[in-house]
Structure formats: C-alpha cells, structure tokens
Amino acid sequence: MIMDDDLVNADKRSDAALLRSGRLNRRSFLVGSAAGLGAAGLAGCVSPDDMMRAEAAKLYGPVPNDKFAIPAVDISKVDPKYFRQKVRYDTKEAPGTIIIDPGKFHLYRIEGEGMATRYGANVSRPGFLWSGEVYVGRKAEWPTWTPPKEMMARQPEARKYAGGMPGGLENPLGARVLYLYKNGVYTVYTIYSTSDPDTLGQGITSGCTGLLSQDMIDLYSRTPVKTKVVMLPA
C-alpha cells in the first residue's frame, strides 16, 4: 500500500525511478487523469445550442441522390428555433394535420398524444396574409412553376415564365410542393421548398409557406393528398 509519506517522497523522484518502483505520485496521477478525460471529458462543456447545431448539421446535410443534388444548408444562418424538432403541441386536430402559425414562422405536423413536428418557415408578406382551412389537393416533386396571372400583372419580369419554368434548383417551388385547395379549387397557395436559409422567419411570399428543402422532403413524404391544412391568423 502507498502511504502519504511514500507519495511525498515519490514527488521528488524522477519519472524513471517511478516507473521502476511502479508507484504513482500526485502529479502523474493528475496528468494521467487529464489525459484520460480526452474528448469525453470536454463533452460536458458543450452547450445545448452547440448540441442542437450538431444535430441540425445531420438533418440539413446535402441530399446528393435526388433528381437534382440538393446542397447542405448553411446552418450558421439559421436561428436554432427554426430547426426541425418534436415539440409539445396541444390541439384537437387529428394526427397528420398541418397547422401553420405565420405569427411565429412555424409549421406544425400533428403527431398525436400532444406532440407535433415543428418546422421553421417563411410566410406571406403584409397584404397577402390569409387564414382558414384548406387541404392538400395535389403534390409534386421538382414541379414546373407557372406564375399566376396576378403575379405577372404585378411583376412583368415573371411573364417570361408564362409557359412554365422547368423543375430544378432555381425553380421557386424547389424540390417538393404541396398545392392547397378549397372546395375543389386550387387556391394558388402552396407549401414549397427553399434552399435559402435567410428566408426563414420572414414574410416574403404572396400567400405561400416555404420550408427548407430538407424539411420539405420530410413533410412531403408523410403528407398524403387530402391532408387538412389550417392557417392561423397572423
């Protein structure tokens, strides 16, 4: 057994002598303990925000095998409150229902049992806000975009796409789109994909709601035609 006196004396010995004696002093114990901590010890110093961003880097990584390769999102440009996550959400709406809260720039997919998947979103700009109940009338991957007549009247530069803009990374609808209908009629509103993280938390559209492409792919895969969509008042 190593006694306190042994430890005091050991502190004065050389490392070579310690190796020969097989004894450890306080100094070598502390150095060894620090080395043993390594990355695992430092992990305790990682903030919740850092952990959230590390998880977000996985969620928003590149999607190379889609019809068009989708680049990774620059998550440094995204407020963490807009990262996809499961949250408590009390509602009487059935699981699968989509609820858009334009005042908070969030879209919720109801999962049931008081939970929802929450996505960060961009929404309508002032003058184009609306509220009410609609439903997904159809859906498409890498759709052709045709600007509405109203848009072409407001923005003459959009007229060059009157015949339709083919799907692709530059297409305003992006990788996936859900078309919103009411009473069998297309409302001209959509839930669409964007690759621009700067748009999250912004009112920029003419009535549509945009999610990051990676989030939209997730929502699209779990949203059948006829899904109910509720737009809350702003």
146 pLDDT higher than 90: no
Which comes out higher in pLDDT, residue 189 or 234? 189
pLDDT digits (tens, 9 = 90+) for 197-206: 999 999 999 9
Token couple for 31: 């150095």
98 pLDDT higher than 50: yes
165 pLDDT higher than 70: yes
pLDDT band at 145; cut points 50, 70, 90? confident
The domains of the chain are located at: 4-43, 49-231
pTM for this model (two decimals) = 0.77
Class of the domain covering 49-231: mainly beta
Cα–Cα distance list, 201 to 37, 41, 79, 81, 146 (Å)? 40, 36, 9, 10, 25
73 pLDDT higher than 70: yes
Q: Residue 126: which residues within 8 A CB-CB, separation 6 or more?
A: 203
pLDDT digits (tens, 9 = 90+) for 99-115: 999 999 999 999 999 99
